[in-house]
Structures are given as structure tokens and as C-alpha cells.
Amino acid sequence: MSENKSADWDWSEYFDKINDPPMRGTVQAAIDVLGLGQGRPAIDLGCGHGNDTVHMLNAGFEVLAMDTSAEGLRRLQNRADLEADLLSAQKASFHTADWKKNIWTNAGFALPFCPSDKFDQVWQRISENLQDGGIFSGQLFGIEDSWNGKVSDMNFHSEESVRALCNSYGIMHFEEEKGDGKDAVGRPKYWHIFHIVLQKKSK
């Protein structure tokens, strides 16, 4: 059987099915802490077709939307319901992306798709590129997730390892979700998700 790599997945079906969900709790929590963007810089890592990006833009942040998927970026840039003046886009992988210091780094259901051997360097860059007081919001997947061991280029974490990743931050929100469900295209799977919102401490 051929290896199942998320890098080979066609995300178009995800973009069709998960289109404009209600604002995620992690995104709302970040806005609650930061307030309106007033043009401050933010990045949406693994933005897809912009489910979170649109809320970041409409809250007034200047957003660099980054993803490997040209199709996701194309759909995002064609949306009419956003502050297009505040949007720029970069087609890149998490570990090759180039981004500047920002006040908000979001990664909605995206970082789990970073290959595990690249994850630590990406997590470090996220911290280095966050301003003091800046927010990270997003999801990581837990080791009980049914894709663990089946998809070769993802990363999964125990609760202990997620807490260790949060060490140098103030924890604004930490929620572990587990249970049977379906993936975006309706196939059964077991979900193990950490929803986290972190604030970089001032030195």
C-alpha cells in the first residue's frame, strides 16, 4: 500500500465542505485579548481558503495569509466579504515561509500537517516572530487521534508535550477535545484536538 502523506492530499474537497464556519473560539479569544487590529500585523499559517483569515481581516488586522495550496489562496483572494486592502498572501510551507514580527499568529487546524521533524523549528519561529504580548491561537492534534500512525508527515502531541510547548507563554485558553466524529469529507475518525490560545510573555 502506498504511504499516506498529507502533502499529497487535495484540499479542494475540504475547502468546499468547510466553508465559512462560525468564528472559532480560538479566534474569538485572540480578538478578545488583542482588541481591534488597527492595522497591526498578523499571520494566518496554513490559512487554506481563509476561514479564520476573514475574521482576522474584518477585525482590522493586516494579515499575511500563508499556505502551500495555490487553490486555497486563490479562493481566499477571490472572496468579496473581506478587507482586501489588509491582505497579502504567500505560497510556502510552514518551515520555508518568511514572515515578520507580528502581534497575532493564528494556525487553525493547520500545524498538525507540519512534518514532525520540522515542527520544533516552526514552533520556535512562531515564538521568535511574535511581539511581546502577542497571541498564538490554533489547534494541535493529540496522540490518540486516529490519523496518528496512519498519515506519515504529521505531528501529534501528548497533553504533557503540549503543556511543555506552552511553557514560555501565558495560557489564555487550553481545551482538550476527544471523541468519535467525521473528517471534513465525512469519513469516520477519532479526533484528539488541543485548542490553545497563548500570550507571549514580556521579557
Ligand X SMILES: C[S@@+](CC[C@H](N)C(=O)[O-])C[C@H]1O[C@@H](n2cnc3c(N)ncnc32)[C@H](O)[C@@H]1O
Whether the CB-CB separation of 48 and 111 falls below 8 Å is answered with no
Contact stretch for ligand X (CB under 6 A) within 26-34, 42-50, 127-135, 170-178: 42-50
Is 51 a binding residue for ligand X by CB under 6 A? The answer is: yes
How far, CA to CA in Å, does 169 sit from each of 21, 32, 112, 121, 145?
A: 28, 17, 20, 17, 25
Contact with ligand X (CB under 6 A): which of 27, 89, 103, 110? 110
Cβ at position 73, least distance to ligand X in Å:
9
Q: Give the residue from 165, 58, 45, 183 showing the smallest Cα distance to 104.
A: 45
Is 47 a binding residue for ligand X by CB under 6 A? The answer is: yes
How far, CA to CA in Å, does 11 sit from each of 34, 67, 112, 202?
A: 31, 11, 15, 38
- Closer CB to ligand X, 86 or 114, in the complex: 114
Contact with ligand X (CB under 6 A): which of 43, 56, 63, 67? 67
β-pairing verdict for 130-141 and 188-200: antiparallel
Contact with ligand X (CB under 6 A): which of 69, 102, 105, 137? 69
**Eight-class DSSP state of 134:** E
Cβ at position 132, least distance to ligand X in Å:
25
Q: Give the residue from 111, 129, 137, 156 showing the smallest Cα distance to 52.
A: 137
- Closer CB to ligand X, 133 or 181, in the complex: 181
Strands (DSSP E) contained in the chain are 41-45, 62-67, 87-91, 102-107, 130-141, 169-182, 188-200
Whether the CB-CB separation of 139 and 165 falls below 8 Å is answered with no
- Closer CB to ligand X, 51 or 199, in the complex: 51
Distance CA 147, CA 121 (A): 22
Contact with ligand X (CB under 6 A): which of 61, 104, 109, 141? 109
Residues 122-161, mask of contacts with ligand X (x by CB under 6 A): ----------------------------------------
Contact with ligand X (CB under 6 A): which of 108, 157, 192, 193? 108
State which of positions 182-201 bind ligand X (CB under 6 A). Answer: none
- Give the footprint of ligand X on this chain (CB under 6 A): 6, 11, 14, 18, 46-48, 51-52, 67-69, 72, 93-94, 108-110, 113-114
